Structure 1
Amino acid sequence: MTPAGGAGARRFGEVAALYDAVRPDYPAATVAFLVGDAHRVLDLGAGTGKLARAVASLGREVVAVDPDARMLDILGERLDVERHVGTAERIPLADASVDAVVVGQAWHWVDEPVAVREVARVLRPGGTLGVVWNTRDESVPWVRELGRVFGDGVAPPTRVAAPELGGVLTTPEHRAERWTLPMSVDDLVALAATRSYVVEAGEERRAQVAAAVRRLAATVAPRSATDPRVDLPYVTEAFVARRR
């Protein structure tokens, strides 16, 4: 998903199609946890619509908001829903107009106090905010090394933090789900190309990252003798809070 706010939010549009192709989807049980019994759901920082499509598959009405029109264009090719350019700090929807807000891979980009007030404004009484991240399982040594390659030598944290929601929303309920995603070496290289650090790097640095990913992938056991892909382990962590 695209960052829901902040100065760098629009840079992901440069790799929008690639982002949609290789970034992981969300486990169905986690998506159901995020939306509960909500009917009209805002996907905030919707990007190309991976989370929006999962929500729509549950029969919910979806509204998509993202700061990058290029991301929304790809979303619109795959899902016919209401779409708006906007940010978490300035949501272009009316007061009390949605039953739930979901944010995938984007809450860490927002100005949290401002975003919480905006989310509370567009939520109906009793509505929910669901925040979710797919994170690579850095407890696996080769995956942690992959994180170093993606992050210019610095491994990312192994856990995500619960959002700070203040008094307007309840303390969030937490759910974690572990799963694996089969990836070819080319998929892993493409995944690296969608990371914010790599998007901003020059062509020479991007080539260095791609070569490092290929070297690392060569050390990982394939899924089977007939399937050369590797299983990339993920942990999906979700937090759901209710508007008081």
Structure 2
Amino acid sequence: MDEHERHRHASSFGAVAEAYAEHRPDYAPAAVGWALEPAPGRRVLDLGAGTGKLTGALIARGAEVVAVEPDAAMLAELRRSLPGVRALAGSAEAIPLPDAAVDAVVAGNAMHWFDMDAAGPEIARVLAPGGVLAGLWNVVDDGVAWVRGLVEAGGPAAIGPRDTPAGWRAATAGIHLPRAGVPRFGSPERAEFAHGQRRTADSLVAALATRAGLVVMPEPERTAVLARVRAYLAGRPETAEGEFTWPLRTGVLRLRRGESASAAA
């Protein structure tokens, strides 16, 4: 995906902000705990916070959270659902916080949208020495047979290559962080945690419809993809009637900020 397409996809979510807030899954609590485990304190920045899916989980763990989100519609949903949270307009490339303001920076299904050449120095700037940078991603568990079939039925616009465990591992193995001129980050650590969301066929289709690849797709093609997904779910005994668990995994990538630019990378 070139830079123009990346920006187009990244900026698409405001058009579906209400549906995103209603239908997207939260994150496995154990994954959130692991992400924050090495942080030297409780001050946490939720960067690219969207509608607050991760923000609420951070608060539940006792974190002092500030949320930063560039899209006005997504930010409005976050403020509506979590009115007590300090929520600011801003981006990963221009974070509206002072130096060393937080002990952890986390991003839920957002880090792949960041321009890390600009965001890396900004994240390092707002992190206290020894602070943690952690990205969390919900991916579908395609080790389950009916989920594997759903991946095929929906195609890459509905469930992309990064949205399976193997694809997530490959994508995060190549994550780019600037190496010069900023305090360096340590070696990345990864972990995966079982997760799930109770869904019906209708609500799962609604969740998939908030994927960036579908949001930006021309309406006739989008309608065709969602119809294909709906037909597939109607034909599977696991999903044809009533509620079921959508099997997910929350993958976490975490790094620690060094004391200085000469810290080991």
TM-score by length of 1: 0.89
Q: Which residue of 2 aligns with 1:30?
A: 31
Distance 1:187 1:153 in 2: 14
Q: Once superposed, what is the RMSD of the aligned Cα atoms?
A: 2.2
Q: 1:201 to 1:82 in 2, by over 3 A?
A: same
* Residue 188 of structure 1 pairs with residue 180 of structure 2: no
* Residue 209 of structure 1 pairs with residue 220 of structure 2: no
Q: Which residue of 2 aligns with 1:199?
A: 215
Q: Which residue among 132, 148, 156 is the counterpart of 1:151?
A: 156
Name the structure where helix makes up a greater proportion of residues: 2
Residues 61-84 of structure 1, C-alpha deviation per residue, up to 9 Å, x if partnerless? 111111101111111112121122
* Residue 102 of structure 1 pairs with residue 106 of structure 2: yes
Does the 8 A contact of 1:150 with 1:192 survive in 2?
Answer: no
Residues 23-59 of structure 1, C-alpha deviation per residue, up to 9 Å, x if partnerless? 1111111111112253110000000001011001112
Q: Gaps (5+ residues) in structure 1?
A: none
* Residue 77 of structure 1 pairs with residue 87 of structure 2: no
Residues 192-221 of structure 1, C-alpha deviation per residue, up to 9 Å, x if partnerless? 210112111233223212211111102322
Distance 1:107 1:203 in 2: 27
Q: Which residue of 1 aligns with 2:193?
A: 177
Of all paired residues, the percent bearing the same amino acid is 42
Q: 1:19 to 1:239 in 2, by over 3 A?
A: same
Residues 210-242 of structure 1, C-alpha deviation per residue, up to 9 Å, x if partnerless? 211111102322379xx7223221111101111
* Residue 49 of structure 1 pairs with residue 56 of structure 2: no
Residues 156-178 of structure 1, C-alpha deviation per residue, up to 9 Å, x if partnerless? 24331243335511112211112
Q: Which residue of 1 aligns with 2:10?
A: 9
Q: 1:71 to 1:183 in 2, by over 3 A?
A: same
Q: 1:81 to 1:6 in 2, by over 3 A?
A: same
Does the 8 A contact of 2:233 with 2:239 survive in 1?
Answer: no
Distance 1:26 1:92 in 2: 25
Q: Which residue among 244, 253, 263 is the counterpart of 1:230?
A: 244
Q: Which residue of 2 aligns with 1:86?
A: 90
Shift of 1:152: 4.4
Does the 8 A contact of 1:150 with 1:197 survive in 2?
Answer: no
Distance 1:212 1:152 in 2: 12
Q: Higher mean Cα deviation, 173-182 or 161-170?
A: 161-170
Q: Which residue of 1 aligns with 2:19?
A: 18
- Which letter maps to 2:243? R
Q: 1:60 to 1:142 in 2, by over 3 A?
A: same
Q: Which residue among 141, 144, 148 is the counterpart of 1:140?
A: 144
- Which letter maps to 2:176? E
Q: Which residue of 1 aligns with 2:131?
A: 127
Does the 8 A contact of 1:132 with 1:237 survive in 2?
Answer: yes
Q: 1:137 to 1:63 in 2, by over 3 A?
A: same
Does the 8 A contact of 2:158 with 2:209 survive in 1?
Answer: no
Q: Higher mean Cα deviation, 108-117 or 69-78?
A: 108-117
Q: Which residue of 1 aligns with 2:255?
A: 241
Does the 8 A contact of 1:26 with 1:134 survive in 2?
Answer: yes
Distance 1:8 1:210 in 2: 18
Q: Higher mean Cα deviation, 91-100 or 5-14?
A: 5-14
Distance 2:126 2:62 in 1: 21
Shift of 1:146: 2.5
Task: Report how many residues are paired.
Answer: 238
Q: Gaps (5+ residues) in structure 2?
A: 1-5, 259-265
Q: 1:223 to 1:193 in 2, by over 3 A?
A: closer
The secondary structure found in structure 2 opposite 1:151 is helix
